[in-house]
Amino acid sequence: MQKLEQVYEGKAKKVFATDDPNLFIVDYKDDATAFNGLKKGTIAEKGVINNRVTNHLMKLLESKGIPTHLVKELSDRETLVKKVKIVPIEVIVRNIAAGSLSKRLGLPEGTKLARTVLEYCYKDDELGDPMINDYHIYAMQLATSEELATIAAYSFKVNQILTDYLKDLGIELIDFKLEFGRLADGTIVLADEISPDTCRFWDSKTGEKLDKDRFRRDLGGVEDAYHEIMKRLLGE
Ligand code: TMP
């Protein structure tokens, strides 16, 4: 497998073409941003941890019937994935109130939600990823109703699988963000990453935050939190 030219650079990852037109290589960076890129920094070894944690969770999800873009981990920071066109919708799944939901609705962080909340945001950095609903999605033709039904069903299933898995590791899954992509034949698969950058993980016993909120909110102990997640998930 040959790594060819860079085709995309995001805030946390670079994507490279390969000599196989159906495959990309993702390369995870240590760069960290928050508030739509306004806050910038680095988190030492974040790229390695997010690569390995994402692949570990994607493998788990695949084994439970969720199709993903994962092909194979190539190195500490690089993973071979199926080439997809990302559906420009960020799906947020929430079990416990936190972050922007707490602000918007005046619900104290930590409030258990009586049922799981699904939110959609339009993936557009210039607009600051505004929240949208299914009517906007159809009006802007971001996804068909069949695709959105698949995306929502997968998102709820991912939530169930991850919540159960993390509970046994003493981690409460507060909320997280997913992105989906279309393969060349139109099949919807889970893409992007599932990591402390894109999830809120709280220690089940102490409530300690073990995710990117430590960076966003200047809580200190950022690297330790990322390492703790890798240790609990991968045993190292
Ligand atoms: P929020 O409470 O700030 O809306 O975040 C909800 C979840 O989505 C949280 O787990 C962090 C994740 N997230 C991202 O992965 N990328 C983003 O750009 C934002 C704003 C949130």
Q: Identify the H or E element spanning 132.
A: strand 131-132
- Using the predicted structure, report yes or no on whether residue 1 has a pLDDT greater than 90: no
Number of helices (H), then strands (E), belonging to the chain: the values are 6, 14
- Using the predicted structure, report yes or no on whether residue 154 has a pLDDT greater than 90: yes
Q: What is the pLDDT, as a whole number, of residue 49?
A: 98
Amino acid occupying residue 99? G
Q: What is the mean pLDDT of residues 158-173?
A: 98
3-state helix, strand, coil in the chain (%, to 5): 30, 35, 35
User: 3-82 with 85-221: one CATH topology?
Assistant: no
Q: Which two three-digit tokens encode residue 139?
A: 């009006």
177 Cα nearest atom in ligand 1 = 8
119 and 27 Cβ atoms separated by less than 8 Å: no
Q: What is the pLDDT, as a whole number, of residue 123?
A: 98
Classify domain 85-221 by CATH architecture. Answer: 2-Layer Sandwich (3.30)
175 and 92 Cβ atoms separated by less than 8 Å: yes
Q: Whose CA is nearest to atom 15 of ligand 1?
A: 198
Residue that has been written with the tokens 């557009």 in this structure: 124
Superfamily, domain 3-82: Phosphorylase Kinase; domain 1 (3.30.200.20)
The model carries a pTM of 0.98
236: confidence class by pLDDT, cuts 50, 70, 90 = confident
Q: What is the pLDDT, as a whole number, of residue 96?
A: 98
Q: What is the mean pLDDT of residues 200-206?
A: 98
Q: Give the rounded distance of the alpha carbon of 194 from its chain centre.
A: 4
Residue 71, SS3? Answer: strand
Q: What is the mean pLDDT of residues 190-204?
A: 98
212 Cα nearest atom in ligand 1 = 11
Ligand 1 — pocket residues by CB below 6 A? 92, 98-101, 129, 175-177, 198-200
Q: Identify the H or E element spanning 1.
A: none
* Rounded distance between C-alpha atoms, residue 182 and residue 124, angstroms: 18
Q: What is the mean pLDDT of residues 54-80?
A: 98
Mutate to test the pocket of ligand 1, among 33, 50, 54, 92 (most ligand atoms within 8 A of CB): 92
Spans of all domains in the chain:
3-82, 85-221
